[in-house]
Amino acid sequence: MFPLRCLCFLTLASALSAQGWEYGMTVGRQTFGSLSASDGMPGYAPSGSVAGTTVVSARLAWTILDTDGGELQVACAFQPTTTATARFSVQPTTAPGLPRIDSGPLNYRCGYHALGVSYRTPGRVRAGVGLDLRFQRVDLPASAANAAETATTAVPWIRGGLYLPARAGWIRPIVGVEAGLALLTTSDAAHPAGSLRPRSEVALYAGARF
């Protein structure tokens, strides 16, 4: 479903007098959400966290406007499923002295497809800001402390960066650094997989412009 959506999106972009396209990849560090005792339900107090992990993603963008005032791009992006280490525990609160139940290390899996739009300023070093809609899929396996859960959620992310493009040539390299932040977060003990999903990311970007 997403490849068709992405194809339609880029076809529309190319029809809007596209100036060229850009393919790039990012390598960065992703951080995740957490659960605390205050997020619990009557009878128990949960806690959960996911260790930050290194992620790789790919992006294909169309430049639909490139003027002295800057450039406007639309893009689709993909992050393959990445495994991070999660830990989950539950402390029963119905009676004093009950032991805490720990999950031990869990393989928390996450990945996404995304559609987005971004703007870059003109100049030798270009500042950029963008808005992406990430269709994030997360998977949390079952343990003694939690049930298995898989969830796919559309999450808006804001993205900013600094970029250094080559000025001439048919194939023009571009490098940069980016940071992203999820604009929608949840903290729900009944659905820990979604609550632990990625919250922020800092990455290096390298690509080529055609």
DSSP bridge pairs for 112? 79, 136
- Residue 40 forms part of a structural domain: no
- Residue 114 forms part of a structural domain: yes
How many C-beta atoms lie closer than 10 Å to residue 85's C-beta? 13
Model confidence pLDDT, tens digit, residues 126-146: 999 999 999 999 998 877 667
DSSP assignment letter at 66: E
- Residue 87 forms part of a structural domain: no
Share of residues in the chain with pLDDT > 70 (%):
83
Based on the structure, what is the number of domains in the chain?
Answer: 1
Cβ within 8 Å of residue 24, ≥6 positions away: 58, 59, 61, 174, 205, 206, 207, 208
- Residue 169 forms part of a structural domain: yes
Domain that holds residue 177: 2-33+55-82+108-209
Q: What is the CATH number of the domain that holds 174?
A: 2.40.160.20
- Residue 89 forms part of a structural domain: no
- Residue 38 forms part of a structural domain: no
DSSP bridge pairs for 139? 109, 150
- Residue 88 forms part of a structural domain: no
Model confidence pLDDT, tens digit, residues 164-195: 998 777 889 999 999 999 998 877 666 777 78
Model confidence pLDDT, tens digit, residues 25-58: 999 999 998 877 555 566 667 778 899 999 999 9
- Residue 201 forms part of a structural domain: yes
The model's pTM is 0.83
Model confidence pLDDT, tens digit, residues 80-89: 999 999 888 8
Structure tokens at 86: 């999660």
